[in-house]
Structure 1
């Protein structure tokens, strides 16, 4: 009496692998702390306003609009928005690890030898004469860039280093599944750049107050002692320091972001993620029979053991074609 199969086949698909394109970089962005029922799309009024990348260091940041008209603290929004605006005003291009944890501090104009064009140290946001006006005329302040109105997600690309698994992106069409190799994964988390900017602005204000009380120290000549630097730089600490320095110096590359429902997105989806000529696709061939295949995926190596449902001579067919008719049957 035939026993009912406890693992029935419910669907079958023809599998195709798309060819790699030199100028194509395909990444999957995973938003770890954002609910799946809140996608970043135009339909949900949360389409990213900017996407930027540092290709060499692999850092990616995505700015997503915040609804400033619902459950929003206007006072805090102006305070953080002004902190971001002022720190960027004197040269801060990035925050956190994407900047190598470096801070760009304004050069004091009271210090002897300071350049005439150097930005002056800003005053604290709460001491700004316009702060209350920004809160009162909130909509106008938001349009002029005084309000924090975006949420930033950031992460670093995890490239395929050849040591771990190689991920592929699958797209379905009828009874076909097309696999495209990923260049990497990016796990994005909420970034608190506004807090970094606030702390940086406080440090600038402390230095400004100290110089106003003690006076700017005049530039004094310093003794110069030449030293021979040891070659190498291959210790973990030195490599990390060099990476942070290069990350700070690397400039952002800003990308165009297209919503998933735009014509450009659909054209790119059909062009990049599907094999155009499936009839001419080469056949995938394998030289493993059933037992060898099962032993391989189970980690048994070369051990052979006949299964109850398949004999040792049974073959798993992948292709009906073979380059050599004299060869043993191939399996897939």
Structure 2
């Protein structure tokens, strides 16, 4: 017989986290699900996104709690995809069921996911919050030892921000996330300069209303769909607009759909990025499995926190190493 428990946790941040389309985040807030069956426990975590994004379409905690009866009645991960939409609430439950299934089957999660080899360390980006050019340059100088930085942009003066960061961190790889904050005209204007500054990739520069215009250009560097890539149903509309997709468990609604999205995206010729929301190692560990297949990895959530849960993934600067007992 199954038993499902749900709790909310708050995790302090080192400093406020700022992106173009949201108010500054002062702490991380997550929903943790634990499902017990036959002496085994599966765990999952999602960000409580509706706390930080006023237009988020779901009450994350209430949606998770609405599924308790179905989970305790024995619902499968495949049936869960019919019960709940691709979103954060389903992620916490799906990851808990995924780990539980792995334990009940007496196999590691990476094997159950269909991977041939156990996960190896990966290099994650380190994210710099949106700020003035001067402050972002200071932040970049403090992190210039890291191999790759991700810059949150999406407001006027972004080229000045990138130039300032590049001067402060001349040898660091750079990727950019504009979080839908640019117009098409700005994107076309910025791309050649960004390429000259050594930027590798631009993530979700345009709003949903303008992204169809991406079909009219051949960009100087890859453009990655983030907000526009939810699950497999997103892919057909992204073809011809984006060169890469960002797979996030809080968007796909868990590992089950994320694995299917990964397979279909690769077959369609997309480059893959694996990303995250603000969260602890419990949220990053499933993403670490997906990250084995990714060109860009953004699972730096715990690096932005003042503390992580225990046990935790082993973060050696920007290298993320699997750790026994975290998940899976």
* TM-score (norm. length: structure 2): 0.19
Structure 1 or 2: more helix by fraction:
2
* Higher RCO (C-alpha under 8 Å, 6+ residues apart): 1
Q: Which has the larger radius of gyration?
A: 1
Structure 1 or 2: more strand by fraction:
2
